[in-house]
A and B are shown apart, each in its own frame.
Chain A
């Protein structure tokens, strides 16, 4: 498996971490992802917009006082994330098997 099998949208570490959180939760709030990734609001918005444009996450917004923004992974996103993890594992396995 080559590096070409890696998904360029997910490959960025912040987006990889966000996808891993979302693949293992039914939904995650904006604040939770921001705190977990240790990024600013604007940076998280940028990263999540990239994932949303790729069709990997969907956004839910509750407006009004105490309103929240939360994210869910889509089926396409879950499949892409699994493929990306499989590609990473294959690269690691190939590297390990080439060691003397």
Chain B
């Protein structure tokens, strides 16, 4: 089984409302695609993603998602304001279907994801920062 990753730039999501973003992500997840968002969802959108996921779960081929946002570190109000003024939003986020993603682990400065496909395990690491990736697609 092939593992497909969609890298989604912040520009391509910025014009979408919360529900549109969630639908955009879930559409891909249900096709067994792992989505890497350059700019993450805010906590309200994350909750909407969980809620929408619960509505879509079935006993046949979709059992849910794994996701992780890189900027997990507890941020105080001062940092939040500083980031807001600097125009920085939420960090790199990785979302994948449970059947493809065995584990997502947070390391000090990167996310480590263990993907499974066709009985083989594949290790993928994603670091923060970097320029817009413009919907690049990779197959491994």
The answer to whether A and B belong to the same complex is no
